[in-house]
Amino acid sequence: MEQSVVAGAGQEPWNKGKLVGQKAPLKLKEIWAIRIRLQISSNRRDLARFNLAIDSKLLRPGEDSSARRVAR
């Protein structure tokens, strides 16, 4: 029982004409703008997740990220 998926005639790919691949990294000014907006909105959970994501990108090779904890 083998089924094949056939694209509809005349359908364009969703990413046709768009830039694909890796995006440019965030600039320091953009990172701080996001942090300030999250602080102003009192969104602690998202702020903690954003900070963890940024920090994990800044880890040096061999540094352990599992030892980090979020204070309540």
Per-residue pLDDT of the chain (72 residues; tens, 9 = 90+): 566 566 566 889 888 888 888 888 889 999 999 999 999 999 899 999 999 988 887 766 666 656 666 566
Statement: the pTM of the whole predicted model exceeds 0.75: no
3-state secondary structure the chain: CCCCCCCCCCCCCCCCCCCCCCCCCCCHHHHHHHHHHHHHCCCHHHHHHHHHHHHHHCCCCCCCCCCCCCCC
